[in-house]
Structure 1
Amino acid sequence: MVLVGTEVKSIRDGKVNFVDSFCVFFKGELWVRNMHIAEYRFGTTNNHIAVHDRKLLLTKRELRKLENKIKEKGYTIVPLRIFFNEKGYAKLEIGLGKGKKQYDKRETIKQRDTQKEIKRYLNRQ
């Protein structure tokens, strides 16, 4: 992952949030979007911007493999976790996810509602 100096310090402090973040291909490169890395509190005027696109460094083979999967309907790449390896480099673990179909969503909602009703019934007794 390509980072600015204060971004690394902020990541070490654990000030990263990648809720609603996702990865996209742009000109043959993989970029992560909407990943929020808070500004470093001891940073000066050279502090980084909290939310901007960050380039992910992958081999051509990995990029080609992921790009072929993305072209299939319903697949997306999402960041799962961020960590530092033994050399001190920040690494982003990504995963390939497939969206739910409409009938799957309805089934999940139905199961959730029945579980709530069961809990209510058990709590009354």
Structure 2
Amino acid sequence: MKEKIAKKIDVFNKKAGFEYFFLEKYDAGMVLTGTEIKSIRMNKFNMTDAYCFFIDGELFVKNLNISKYDQGTHYNHDPLRDRKLLLKKRELKRLDNKLTDQGLTIVPTRLFINDSGLAKLEIALAKGKKLYDKRETIKERDVSRERMRDE
């Protein structure tokens, strides 16, 4: 029995939204192998602990877990390998300059497949929340739920 392969994938990283304030967002392409895109289309990936970093002016994502493809042979990929992100040169320079500020990082917020069938990763320049900020986020979410129930 064949597993269902989804044409549209749009998954958000909820943990990143709870842990960080997003300052700027960018859509980046990813350099993937054939078995990786098949696993993504089968919705077999996890990006809760993923983060981005620079090596020699190029942006990479680390800890983006794309599970091995079931029908993959010896051509199967390493699930936790570092994947290169594709952005314009001026966007890379801007992000690299902003990372020198204290407390800023780059986290993936969303993985989706666009209309052309390409896997894209939405990344955000983010600043970490303090404990009282997280409490405030929980409080706002509870208040909005109560409002929705009353309506």
TM-score in same-fold range (> 0.5): yes
Aligned mates of 1:70, 1:11 — CA distance in 2: 29
TM-score (norm 1): 0.80
Aligned mates of 2:134, 2:86 — CA distance in 1: 36
Q: How does 1:72-91 map to 2 (within 5 A)?
A: 72-91=101-120
1:34 aligns with 2:60: no
Unaligned runs of at least 5 residues, structure 1:
113-125
User: Which of the pair is proportionally richer in helix?
Assistant: 1
User: Which of the pair is proportionally richer in strand?
Assistant: 2
Unaligned runs of at least 5 residues, structure 2:
1-29, 139-151
Give 4+ residue runs of structure 1 displaced > 4 Å after superposition: 106-109
Paired residue type of 2:131 = K
TM-score (norm 2): 0.67
- Find the partner of 2:121 among 69, 83, 92: 92
For residue 15 of structure 1, what is the aligned residue in structure 2?
Answer: 44
Larger radius of gyration: 1
1:105 aligns with 2:131: yes
Give the aligned CA root-mean-square deviation in angstroms.
Answer: 1.9
Number of residues paired by the alignment? 109
Identity of aligned residues (%): 53
